[in-house]
Structure 1
Amino acid sequence: MAAEPSGSTATTSPYHPLFNDPAADTVLRSTEGTLFRVPAFVLRRTTGYFAATLPPPTAADTEPVPLDEPASLLAHTLSILCGLPPPSAAPLDFDTAEAILALSERWAAPGAAARVRDAITGPAFLAEPLRLYVVAVRAGWTDEAHIAARGTLVLSLYDEVHHELLRRLPARDLMALLGLHRRRRDALDRMLRSESTEGVSAAAVSGCCGACGLSADNHLWKEYRARIFAEMDIRALGDTVIGSGTDEWREALACWNAKCAGAGCGKTIYDRDTILPEIKACMDRLPDTV
């Protein structure tokens, strides 16, 4: 290639650097004017939209096909459809993933959606489980929705910060997610009632002294149970209910320090080493996804 004359100004190619093969017979144009050379047979084979609308090329210099899509989105999506490396070394993020999914729906391009699905349970996406749940249910991905729902158990869904994402959910999926959090809270509360036969043993939380048999008001256990209920309402995962932090709860300390008032007895009424493992066993039986 001949050198440019001294003093000349180099011009920037209007073509995207990954899509500038003269052998490609179709040219697409983004909203910014960036051009993409893509083989027509690839577009027709991978998308229902171009299979139905793309006219056959009539000349070597085909008129660009205008698209109402930004260049960055076209670069990502066309790279997937053409089997090319991604246009950026940065990992796929939520904004790009959702944009590709929306475009794959407009174009009827299942291959692009499948690539997003392969990546959607990576660490960056799992770190935002509610947004992942929204994406998964809208895409109809049941397994990924179950994974995401499980991840939301660390969140307080009624916190205002989550309202925008929750509004994006179809009513059925919203109620399923809220129901999961509520079921865990309510099921654990049932198991912790002294009359329950499926959870913590009644003898351990009855308020009755195991040594002398003296019966006492059971209000201390009821207050402890109410604290657990409140914690589960905030964080349905339940890790704050069975972790070491509970030893600092006023309600827990009151139970562990309660002594029998019987004459000459003074034995501990609530056995911490018995009750905490039983609470943990109850937690392990709770539903963990929608």
Structure 2
Amino acid sequence: MMDTEASPKILVKTEDTFHSLFSSPGADVILGSSDHTLFRVHSWTLKTTSGWFRSLFSMPRLNPVSHCPETINLGENSRTLESILRMICGLPINPLTSYDDVDVLLFAAEKYDMPGPISLIRILVMTPPLLDQPLRLYAAASRFGWEEEAKYASTQSLALNIYAPEYQPILRKIGTSAVLDLIHLHRERREGLRRRLDETPFVTGSTVAHCPRCRRVIEHHTWRELKYKVVLEMDVRPLGDTVLNVGLVDWPEAQACWEAKCPNTECTCVLYDKNETLRLIRECIDSLPNAA
């Protein structure tokens, strides 16, 4: 008859191992990661680079006469601890290739009050491949008060539609004041161009327009439709490059505008100077604010 009892489970204890770069027997502190890797580090290094460890080591020790290294278990995994310890120990640092790594390291450096790693990370976020995520950079820069980096990131964000659903999780992580500044920048570029297009020398709706040649009353509907399309595009991509390089050339609204003529069959004067209009709109976009 078969034994119906479950087979006994063999419990294997996970052994902690020392990291190859941090295994010097002369170090007097052992740091343990959450994934069971140990790091031997000199307490002097920790005290001089971390306010958190400086405060910790100022407390009375339970066994001051013990010659065994202290073991301090931390919440970070071995990858994060290795990167932070490389920075404070003067070793070659691990490259940062994603903002997931940046956020984890910044959290740890802030947690342990380590200004050195934070300053190194501040330099690294301004190098490829991290420069292609301006909202992540803006979130980090605004949190740590990096003014120049925040301005750069806000300028780069003008190529994005920050109202799109995929960017909402990032925006929720940014402080209220900083995210309002970013929204204001995007909105001000759209509204600034809209206001400018309603002023002279552009066609305005406040006066009756006439054909410049035969003086017949003109209904500038093609211009109004193009202007509306320009404003909509600035809402999606406030950088304005798609307006200048694509829209004013290829949009059906633009082509209709440049082809518009006086309805007087004896006149047929072209109503809009394409090249001059493009030049004026380019000047308007270039004059808009470009940083939060």
Name the SS of the counterpart of 1:36 in structure 2.
strand
Shift of 1:92: 4.1
One-letter code of the match for 2:143?
R
Contact conserved, 1:207 with 1:221, CA < 8 A, in 2? Answer: no
Which of 131, 136, 153 is the aligned partner of 2:136?
A: 131
Q: Corresponding residue for 2:251?
A: 249
CA distance in 2, matches of 1:69, 1:125: 23
Distance 1:110 1:282 in 2: 42
Match of 1:210 among 202, 209, 212: 212
Q: Which position in structure 2 is the counterpart of 1:184? A: 189
Which amino acid is 2:86 matched to? S
For residues 277 and 58 of structure 1, what CA distance do their matches in structure 2 show?
80
* Superimposed CA distance per residue, residues 52-96 of structure 1 (whole angstroms, 9 cap, x where no aligned partner): 11267754431321112211110000110111112x4x4442112
Residue 221 of structure 1 aligns to a residue in which SS?
helix
Q: 1:74 and 2:77 equivalent? A: no
**Alignment map for 1:164-203 (pairs within 5 Å):** 164-193=169-198, 196-197=199-200, 200-202=201-203
2:281 corresponds to:
279
Which sits farther off after the overlay, 217-226 or 52-61?
52-61
Distance 2:144 2:234 in 1: 30
Give, in whole Å, the separation in 2 of the partners of 1:228 and 1:285: 16
Range 144-153 or range 244-253, more displaced: 244-253
The structure 1 residue matched to 2:70, chosen from 63, 67, 75, is: 63
Shift of residue 13, structure 1, vs aligned partner: 7.9
| Aligned-partner Cα distance in 2 for 1:58–1:272 | 86
Matches of 1:27 and 1:270 in 2, distance apart?
76
Number of equivalences: 272
Extract unaligned runs of 5+ from structure 2: 1-14
Q: 1:157: how far off?
A: 1.1
Q: TM-score, normalised by structure 2?
A: 0.87
TM-score normalised to the size of structure 1?
Answer: 0.88
My pick for the range that moved more, 255-264 or 147-156, is 255-264
Asked if 1 retains the 8 angstrom alpha-carbon contact of 2:28 and 2:42, the reply is: yes
Q: Cα distance, 1:43 vs. partner? A: 0.3
CA deviation string 1:143-163 (max 9, x = no partner): 111111111111111111111
Q: Provide the rounded CA distance (Å) in 1 between the counterparts of 2:74 and 2:164.
A: 40
Contact 1:207 1:269 in 2 (8 A): no
What is the DSSP-based 3-state SS (H/G/I as helix, E as strand, rest coil) of the residue aligned with 1:123? coil
1:109 aligns with 2:110: no
| CA distance 1:58–1:270, change in 2 (3 Å) | farther
Instruction: Determine the structure 1 residue equivalent to 2:163.
Output: 158
From the superposition, tell whether residues 249 and 41 of structure 1 become closer, same or farther in structure 2 (CA, over 3 Å): same
Q: Residue 37 of structure 1 aligns to which amino acid in structure 2?
A: R
Q: CA deviation at 1:209?
A: 2.7
Within the candidate set 49, 52, 65, 1:49 is matched to 52
Corresponding residue number in structure 2 for 1:18: 21
User: In 1, are the aligned partners of 2:161 and 2:235 still within 8 Å (CA)?
Assistant: yes
Mind listing any 5+ residue stretches in structure 1 that lack a counterpart? 1-11
- Contact kept in structure 2, 1:131 and 1:165, CA below 8 Å: yes
Q: 2:233 aligns with which of 219, 231, 243?
A: 231
The one-letter amino acid paired with 2:52 is Y
Take 1:289 and 1:214, find their aligned partners in 2: how far apart are those partners? 45
Cα RMSD after superposing both structures:
2.1
Identity of aligned residues (%): 35
Task: Provide the rounded CA distance (Å) in 1 between the counterparts of 2:29 and 2:254.
Answer: 71
1:143 is matched with 148
- The equivalent residue for 1:3 is none
Shift of residue 131, structure 1, vs aligned partner: 1.1
Distance between the aligned counterparts of 2:162 and 2:277, measured in 1? 29
